[in-house]
Amino acid sequence: KAGVTQTPRYLIKTRGQQVTLSCSPISGHRSVSWYQQTPGQGLQFLFEYFSETQRNKGNFPGRFSGRQFSNSRSEMNVSTLELGDSALYLCASTSGSTSYEQYFGPGTRLTVT
């Protein structure tokens, strides 16, 4: 079974621009969570989607948004990019409706200049 895939793997953007990241979960998994990983803040929860509905949201500004499609694929969007948004963005999927047994993708490395 293929793992979680994320595209693109690397991205360079300029302050003020917006960006969309994509995540394809493991086949059959219906829940997708997004995390931001930085050296200073570690791994922080952004939001979680299940059956196209956002069920949980972390403490990030409204510039961070996401959505999930009927095939469980998910996208996250960051608008008006700031230098501090430079990070590794990780997507994780799980088969159930809880956060148990989350499997992570390789991440998208976003650099904002």
Partner 1 sequence: GENVEQHPSTLSVQEGDSAVIKCTYSDSASNYFPWYKQELGKGPQLIIDIRSNVGEKKDQRIAVTLNKTAKHFSLHITETQPEDSAVYFCAASKADKLIFGTGTRLQVFP
- Residue 31 is a binding residue for partner 1 (CB under 8 A): no
CA-to-CA dists, residue 102 to 22, 95, 97, 99, angstroms: 17, 8, 11, 6
Backbone angles phi, psi at 99, to 5 degrees: -85, 5
Please state the closest distance from residue 104 (CB atom) to partner 1, in A.
4
3-state secondary structure of 83: helix
From residue 84 to residue 113, the character string flagging contacts with partner 1 as x (rule: CB under 8 A) and all else as - is ------x-x-----xxxxxxxxxx------
Eight-state DSSP code of residue 26: P
Q: What token pair was written down for 103? A: 């499997």
Please state the closest distance from residue 90 (CB atom) to partner 1, in A.
5
From residue 47 to residue 86, the character string flagging contacts with partner 1 as x (rule: CB under 8 A) and all else as - is -x------xx-x----------------------------
